Chain A
Amino acid sequence: EDQVTQSPEALRLQEGESSSLNCSYTVSGLRGLFWYRQDPGKGPEFLFTLYSAGEEKEKERLKATLTKKESFLHITAPKPEDSATYLCAVQHLTGNQFYFGTGTSLTVIP
Chain B
Amino acid sequence: DTAVSQTPKYLVTQMGNDKSIKCEQNLGHDTMYWYKQDSKKFLKIMFSYNNKELIINETVPNRFSPKSPDKAHLNLHINSLELGDSAVYFCASSSRQGRYGYTFGSGTRLTVV
Contact = CB atoms under 8 A, between A and B. Distances in A.
Interface of A: 31-32, 34, 36, 38, 41-46, 49, 85, 87, 89, 91, 95-98, 100, 102-103, 105
B48 A44 contact: no
Interface of B: 4, 40-45, 48, 55-56, 90, 92, 97-107
Contacts, number: 55
Given A32-B99, A46-B101, A100-B42, A41 B55 contact: no
B107 A41 contact: yes
A97 B103 CA distance: 16
B23 to A, nearest CB: 11
Given A95-B97, A96-B48, A96-B55, A45 B43 contact: no
A85 to B, nearest CB: 6
A100 B103 CA distance: 15
Nearest 4 Cβ contacts at the A-B interface: A43-B104, A46-B101, A95-B97, A100-B43
B99 A85 contact: no
Contacts of A85: 41
B43 A49 contact: no
A49 B55 contact: no
A49 B102 CA distance: 11
A39 to B, nearest CB: 10
B56 to A, nearest CB: 6
Nearest to A34: B101
Contacts of B44: 100
B89 to A, nearest CB: 10
